[in-house]
A and B are shown apart, each in its own frame.
Chain A
Amino acid sequence: MSVRQAIVGIGQTVYRRRNPDANTAELVRRAVSEALADAGIGLDRIGVVVSGVAPDALAGRTDIDKSSVARPGIPYFRVNTGGASGSSAFLAAMSWIAAGRCDAALVVAVERMGHASTAQKVFNSIFDPIYEKDISLSTISMVAMRATMLMQEHGYTLDHWAGLAARNSASSMLNDTIDQPRSFTADDVLKSPVLAWPIHALESCPMTEGACAVVLVADHLVGDRNAAWVHGAAGLSDSYAMGDRIHRAEGSLVDLLTLIRSTAKAYDMAGITDPTRQIDCIEIQAPFASSEAMAYTALGLCTPAGGPAFVDAQIDRSSRISINPSGGPQAVNPVSATALIRIAEAALQVRQRAGRRQRDGVRTAVATGQGGATQFSTCVVLGDRAQ
């Protein structure tokens, strides 16, 4: 990176199913005010506002960002890369600062999907209108196909998905940004309804609203602020067509090729050669337990064949690396904001400001972003000191 950058401010609303008491601008104001106060920076010091807002249809209104995030007098633009919108917006803000266009950026992501009567109907319409919409393809059926492949090719079982979901549930109970965390065991997961085999209801994310804001600055503005330094960051896009990715030579549908390559680039920038030893904490954008397991391999934490054993170690908490101490997207998944929340939570961990969910000794943390049928991937590496 040509300019060293750091996160010095974070703000989050409470995440809940609906917010009938607040309009979108009010949600954004809560997150932004908290982030600016955390950073000790006024809006007059912000040189660009970048938002991450995913499908307009989820909010039932187009360009909802303009009336809630855009700030008169400050350059503004909106990023939309589906579920990766928040982290893509973060990368865009990094480019702005690295280009010397400003030295302080405000990244905001907000989700109002509580307005949608059903998210899955909206998600069905993201696919090809001729070939795919009519076969009921949705985010859930898409994940089910991948989970089945993982079970068939690498030996995962339903217990792995249920165990991960239960671990995330337990972690979420310590997260004070969640309005009503769901407490359940692995047995509860297996007894919950099947949405699309092998996906059970309790291992999938709930519909969630909320906003997240992050203040990103160039190194000369950090001063004595408690900072999470960006050591590496990268993003990559793929074909969205799952059929083209099933037996692709470069990597199959469950190999998450874009996350592999994003991670490799970010690790290289950060000087990470042995992630299992050098990384202390990871926030993974995985709205389903099987998606989380799929990311472990892409992040270099285990081999494909060693995936089930690594999941076992996560379930019994014998692994050194803390994964999703916030509870992750299986606890709350405000789609537009989820990827930025991963960055925010990773930053809170390295800043030792994660409250009851703080894990000991976190000095290096990683956050991933996934969007558009895992078409978009991002990886951000954060550390507690400048490189």
Chain B
Amino acid sequence: MAADAPTRRKAANAVYVHGVAITIGWADERLSLGDLIFNGVSAALADAKLSMAQMESVVLASHDLVDGRSLSSMVTAPPAGAYLRDEIRLSEDGLAALSLAAARVEAGECEYSVVAAWGRASEGDFARISRRSFDPAMVQPFAVDEFGVSAMRLSAWLATHGPAGEARSRAGAVRERSAAHRRLPTTKLVSMPAPLMSNDAPRPADIMVAAIVGRASAAIRIAGVGHGTDLTAIGDRDLKRCTALADAAAIASGAAGIAPDGFDLYELDGATLADEALAVEAVGVAAPGQGFAARATDPRINRSGGGAAGWAYPANGLLRFADACLQMRGEAGAIQLPGRPRTALATGLSTVAGQAAVVVALEAS
């Protein structure tokens, strides 16, 4: 269990979401990575109706090697607005950056902070890079990567709960149908190790997500943040439980004072459809064994299409967060839920295979 105290946002130091921006594409030769980042942060500022001059803090999430640079933030921080500003960069999922930015606001260190995360899947092979996260002597020779762990996770789930059959197929179809709104071009195929199937695969994309958070009141409030951390060694984990995610979700929903299954919307990070289904169980919106069924039938879950609507580590958690914000603002277009969700839960997973998780609970002000 997580040792951190619940991080409930009190009125005195509440943090609000002022703007979000999502850019998703594929191998756009017109844009350098710096251009992509600059455009994304500029769009988030425009969405917030704020200027860069009002930003005192910049918190970034990017990953060496995924960027093709061995010190990712060095070249890419200035386009994100870090020029002569208090900037910090995390080698974690983007939702961890959002959490730190919120902490800076809560601490009174700044009025507003930029948060940005990006990944450019067209420039690298994530599966290959992720293999380098595993133990070089004991694990790397077996070619285990993030998708391989997802397959092991699903194997463990199937061994306990049996074949998901129809629910699994329907969940895949629902996911694809939701993802169509992005109109992503064909990117590249990610081969799925058994028992994963082709419709479990994420759709690799070039993703830049930015958000502006601050102390001034706005339409969406960060109602709870939870962090969870699991063991590194895959063999030592309870793969079905997704421990880090479950712990983080319990803390975030507890801080928000909302029952785990009581949110109006769930935007859940997962490298594969199976990971999304297990995440549904981990955050407490479905009972163990019911993740695929819930993913197939509950419209509150990954309305955005999840990983099928674009996936690039380490931008995914912040993408889930931004998608949740758009839903809560009634600006989700073709995938807008009837009515406007007043509460939402967004999750983000970091390497290695979800070893660290961050969950953010959102509430309409």
Contact = CB atoms under 8 A, between A and B. Distances in A.
B108 interface: yes
Nearest to B74: A372
B64 A235 contact: no
Contacts of A56: 64-65, 70, 91, 132
B86 A74 contact: no
The bracket for how many chain B residues form the interface is 35 or more
Given A80-B64, A99-B107, A67 B4 contact: no
A356 interface: no
A170 to B, nearest CB: 33
Contacts of B58: 237
Interface in B1-47: 1-5, 7, 13
Given A70-B229, A75-B227, A99-B106, A127 B75 contact: yes
A236 B77 CA distance: 12
Given A66-B355, A70-B232, A79 B89 contact: yes
A96 B102 CA distance: 10
Given A75-B229, A76-B229, A373-B74, A237 B69 contact: no
Contacts of A57: 64-65, 70
Interface in A112-158: 122-123, 125-129
A32 B85 CA distance: 31
Contact of B64 (A55, A88, A257): A55
Nearest to A74: B3
Interface string A58-79: 1011110111001111111111
A91 interface: yes
Nearest to A91: B88
Contacts of B73: 80-82, 372
A70 B355 contact: yes
A47 interface: yes
Interface string A208-225: 000000000000000000
A101 B86 contact: no
B206 interface: no
Nearest to B33: A129
Nearest to B110: A95
Interface in A3-29: 3
Chain A: interface secondary structure?
Answer: loop
A1 to B, nearest CB: 9
A250 B71 CA distance: 26
B5 A126 contact: no
Contacts of B82: 237
A62 B351 contact: yes
A257 B89 CA distance: 20
A66 B64 contact: no
A53 B90 CA distance: 10
B109 A98 contact: yes
A239 B78 contact: yes
B352 A67 contact: yes
Interface in B41-96: 58, 63-65, 68-75, 77-78, 82-92, 96
A141 to B, nearest CB: 16
A227 to B, nearest CB: 20
Given A75-B227, A75-B229, A126 B108 contact: no
Contact of B69 (A3, A125, A236): A125
B133 interface: yes
Nearest to A71: B229
Contacts of B352: 63, 66-67
Interface of B: 1-5, 7, 13, 58, 63-65, 68-75, 77-78, 82-92, 96, 99-100, 102-104, 106-109, 129-130, 132-133, 135-136, 227-233, 243, 247, 350-352, 355-356
22 contacts: A44-B3, A46-B3, A47-B3, A56-B65, A61-B133, A62-B129, A62-B351, A66-B232, A67-B352, A74-B2, A74-B3, A81-B87, A81-B88, A96-B103, A98-B109, A99-B104, A101-B103, A125-B70, A236-B84, A236-B85, A257-B84, A373-B74
Given A3-B107, A82-B74, 15 more contacts: A2-B107, A54-B71, A55-B70, A66-B350, A67-B233, A67-B352, A72-B229, A75-B2, A76-B227, A80-B89, A101-B106, A237-B58, A237-B86, A238-B83, A250-B84
